[in-house]
Chains A and B, each alone.
Chain A
Amino acid sequence: MNNPILRTENLKAFYVLDMAGKQKVAKAVNEVDLEIRENEVYGIAGESGCGKTTLLKAIFGAFDPPLRLIDGHIFYYVNELGVDVTTLNAEEKRKLRMTYISYVPQGSMSVLNPVIKVKGTYQDFIGSHVRGNTRKDAFELARQHIIELGLPRNILDTYPHQLSGGMRQRVTIALAALLGPRIMIADEPTTALDVVVQRGVIQLLMSIQQKLKNTIILVTHDMGVHANIADRIAIMYAGKIVEEATTTKIFGSPAHPYTRFLIDSLPRFGDKTQRGSVPGNPPSLTDLPSGCPFHPRCPHTFEPCKEQMPDYTQLDADHKVACWLVA
């Protein structure tokens, strides 16, 4: 087993909104304990609105109001020394960003500045994160990097609107990998892309991971993508991690009823039998059900589910689940 590279401890990050004197709290990340290891692809899956993106923001240390860190710690293992991100100031966090941890945000196809060429974006980026670089050096570094990743050389001289969505996505991923970060966070990198382009983007992510031997935290709701590249998967529901295991175990022997629904709802080729989706609707994070938040939608609900959130049960060395059925 590899060493940990990132750990969260009882992490709570809520959106706190003041609406006409009344406080509204959305519990987007609620008591999350994660341990992500070196050189692995860690997948996070769940429905939209379950807190996946907020968890990534929290891991990245980006607490912009109304998002607030309520409780808990986030540790980065920079040179085997645990650094608590929650105690760092803005400047210290900035130094870690892009060199230690980088973030490919959702919809990153539209993050490139439309009025400057791709090379301009690269130069700005290098200028603000690498010391003592002239613009010429920066351009050379960018060119080298693009060629290494197998992207067309002429893209540095194009404007973002001249590139297709898949190409823009790959440029953004390449940019995030420029300084060889130990951790790359990718938020829905392939959503809204066509299947063939999606495959190209995932290939790029994988080739970067193999070259840098770093960790990729991949968030997507597409279980097919997770099955294809993740080493371990966490299933998130209503701000909590309800199950975590290796990819083979998540797909081979899912323990949480929610995980089972997610996997069973996927249509497969050569199988036209009736498939259902998860019953009901996702809960609102501002008004969570009591006990286990999944209980109103769960077909196996019994007494304790309504009263208390179950603790994790360790089914295996690499498989934990929070459900009363196995507790």
Chain B
Amino acid sequence: MDKLLEVEQLTKVFSLGSILSKVKITATDSVTFYIKPAEIFALAGESGCGKTTAAKMILGFETPTSGVITHSGKKEAIKGKAWITGGIQAIFQDPFATFNPLRVVDRYFFENVRNFKLARGKAAAIELIDRKLRLVGLSYEEFAGKYPSEFSGGQLQRISIARALLTDPKLLIADEPVSMVDASLRMSIVNLFKKLRDEVGVSVLYITHDLATAYYISDRIAVMFRGNIVEMGTVEQVLMNPQHPYTQLLRESIPEADPARRWSSTVTLSELEHEEYLRRGCKFAGRCPNVMDICKTVIPEDIIVEDTLVKCHLYSGG
């Protein structure tokens, strides 16, 4: 199978506290997944589940403790700055923090063109920038010479996507790209990823906590919990028929825009995050409604249930 990016056994351990009271937190624990060309792969989970750490390692901002990242057949792990190749580009959460408020936005574009030697001469550069802006529904005229404060959040996020597209990347890593954008404009960004996949053939690693948009655009999804991928498969299977109790809880907790379907049950929340990280067995054992004795001591294996990977003891018996 053709794989654009493959991540194998990626582990990152952070040490917290002083020398006397050191706590080791495994931010990502043997995370393994791959992304195919022209595919949107969602990495979903709550804050503090390790999804951003995984993205940072792929981008070379963090060095993995162990594990291999393979990009287009080349092993690029641990060398760092893999993203400089231009094959991978990133889009960040807060479009207002992406651009310096005192700098005209188009300067970022010209800088990129110069640094990557994408075009010769100003006219060619403008032509290239205009072409990329049109992909995201903007144009050079309406953007030249303006400061970030002159755009809305949705526009700025589209501008940062256009900037990422300058180098013709094969893979975009989008870390919570819509969480800062207004709900009414969110779909315009999400649709853009869909369009880029279908028309340009760009793959997207879509990191999000919003399962509804993940369902809407993604092909496959991995649900992370406290550093582990607990369930991975196609969105249809994982979100419409979740197997892992954590995915079931997440799916149930999304408020549906339908007043006839309100929540009836109550949830228990985790008291302290790092206690869950330090759990010996399954990290979800403290909150799981189907908890068994084995869950508290033994880390579950990855089990394939109907083509979906599930990390849960419930399915290991049969």
Contact = CB atoms under 8 A, between A and B. Distances in A.
Interface centre among A47, A195, A222, A227 (most CB of B within 10 A): A195
B259 A199 contact: no
A169 to B, nearest CB: 11
A248 interface: yes
B123 interface: no
A110 to B, nearest CB: 15
A196 B253 contact: yes
A261 B184 contact: yes
A299 interface: no
B303 interface: no
Q: How large is the interface on A (under 10, 10 to 19, 20 to 34, 35 or more residues)?
A: 35 or more
Contacts of B216: 267, 272, 275
B213 A195 contact: no
B46 interface: yes
A298 interface: no
Interface stretch (B52-60, B76-84, B264-272): B264-272
Interface stretch (B103-111, B186-194, B305-313): B186-194
25 contacts: A164-B272, A194-B46, A194-B47, A195-B253, A198-B253, A199-B255, A199-B263, A199-B267, A200-B267, A203-B266, A224-B212, A224-B254, A225-B255, A227-B255, A227-B257, A227-B258, A227-B262, A228-B259, A251-B258, A265-B186, A266-B212, A269-B239, A269-B240, A276-B188, A277-B188
A62 B188 CA distance: 36
B257 A268 contact: yes
A266 B249 CA distance: 21
Contact of A195 (B211, B239, B257): B211
Interface of A: 47-48, 152, 164-167, 192, 194-200, 202-203, 221-225, 227-229, 247-248, 251, 261-263, 265-270, 272, 274-278, 281-282
B213 A194 contact: no
A221 B180 CA distance: 12
Contacts of B153: 48
Contacts of B267: 196, 199-200, 203
B215 A267 contact: yes
Which 5 pairs, one residue from A and one from B, show the smallest C-beta to C-beta distance? Answer: A224-B255, A277-B187, A267-B216, A194-B46, A228-B255
Contacts of A48: 153, 182
Residue of B216, B239, B250 contacting most chain A CB atoms (<10 Å): B216
B240 A196 contact: no
B297 interface: no
B155 interface: yes
B185 interface: yes
A274 B182 CA distance: 18
B183 A221 contact: yes
Interface of B: 46-47, 152-155, 179, 182-188, 190-191, 209, 211-213, 215-216, 239-240, 249-251, 253-260, 262-263, 266-267, 269-273
Given A268-B212, A275-B187, A281 B256 contact: no
A194 B186 contact: no
Contacts of A276: 187-188, 191
A196 B257 contact: no
B262 to A, nearest CB: 5
A133 to B, nearest CB: 30
B253 A266 contact: no
A166 B270 CA distance: 10
Contacts of B47: 165, 194
Contacts of B188: 276-277
Given A263-B257, A269-B240, A197 B46 contact: yes
Contacts of A223: 183, 257
A233 to B, nearest CB: 9
A278 B209 contact: no
Contacts of A198: 253, 255
B287 to A, nearest CB: 9
Contacts of B259: 227-228, 247-248, 251
A200 B287 CA distance: 13
Nearest to B273: A164
Contacts of A262: 183-184
B156 to A, nearest CB: 11
A222 B183 contact: yes
Q: Taking each of B155, B266, B273, which has the highest tally of chain A beta carbons within 10 Å of its own beta carbon?
A: B266
Contacts of B183: 47, 221-223, 262, 265-266
Contacts of B256: 224, 227-228, 268-269
Contacts of B239: 269
A200 B183 CA distance: 21
B258 A199 contact: no
Contact of B152 (A196, A227, A251, A282): A282
Given A202-B255, A251-B259, 8 more contacts: A47-B185, A198-B253, A198-B255, A199-B263, A200-B269, A276-B187, A281-B154, A282-B182
Contacts of A278: 184-185
A272 B260 CA distance: 21
Contacts of B263: 199, 202-203, 228
A261 B184 CA distance: 8
A164 B211 CA distance: 22
B308 to A, nearest CB: 16
Contacts of A225: 255
Contact of B249 (A196, A224, A247, A270): A196
Contacts of A222: 183, 255
A227 B263 CA distance: 10
A266 B257 contact: yes
Contacts of A165: 47
A277 B158 CA distance: 14
A225 B262 CA distance: 10
A199 B253 contact: yes
